[in-house]
Amino acid sequence: MHEFSIVNALLEMCEKNAQANQASRVTKVEIKIGKLSGVEPHLLETAFHTFKEESVCDGAELVMHLQDVVVRCHACNYEGALSQNEFVCPTCKSADVTVIDGEEMYLMHLEME
């Protein structure tokens, strides 16, 4: 389960940000998870709550935003979210699309004290 290693990296990032801002603790961690990122949100949440206790994030709230897959069509210039995992333009049905969002996981915001 790679969510545990992702959480370890996330907690390290929180620790570094807290130190850089002279904060003693993180109270809220806000992340964006793309649907194509390969991250299972419920497993990530479980791992976060398991490992946060011995870190600067002890007691922190985890807020997850799930990002739909967003594509750009090179045939008709459509740009928007896909409702299904069919990588064709919903407007012109072209398969000449590029994924522009929904493949990554990002740390979006931290609240610290």
Annotated binding-site members:
2, 73, 76, 89, 92
Instruction: State the binding site for Ni(2+).
Output: 2
* CB crowding 15-53: b at 16 or more within 10 Å, else e: eebbeeeebeebeebebbbbbebebebeebeebbeeebe
Instruction: State the binding site for Zn(2+).
Output: 73, 76, 89, 92
